[in-house]
Amino acid sequence: MKKKFESWSMGHGDAAIYTEDPEIAKELKKLIGKGSVYERAGKVFAWQFILPRTKKGFVEKKIFKKYDVDSKGVTESRITKNTITDIQKVEVDN
């Protein structure tokens, strides 16, 4: 079963990584350091880490190599040349 893993750019040079898997969270803690813990009814169910956007690709590669992750939530890889063109068109039209 694939493990949940999401990452996105936060702007201002930062990125966030989110997981609901304790093994991945442990690895991210080694790679990044301190992170945030999400709890529900007193039980931890997820972790989030903030890191410089310049290190995001390195950390993702490490996680993808070591774990079978569902990376559908990885946002930056979805931006294509067409997306940028569409954004430019919207900005020009407004």
As its CATH architecture, domain 3-93 has 2-Layer Sandwich (3.30)
pTM: 0.70
Each of the 94 residues of the chain gets a pLDDT tens digit; together they read 677 888 888 888 999 999 999 999 999 999 999 999 999 998 999 999 999 999 999 999 999 889 888 765 544 444 444 434 444 443 443 3
In terms of Cβ atoms closer than 10 Å to its own Cβ (0-12, 13-18, 19+), residue 27 is middle
How many Å apart are CA 41 and CA 57, to the nearest integer? 34
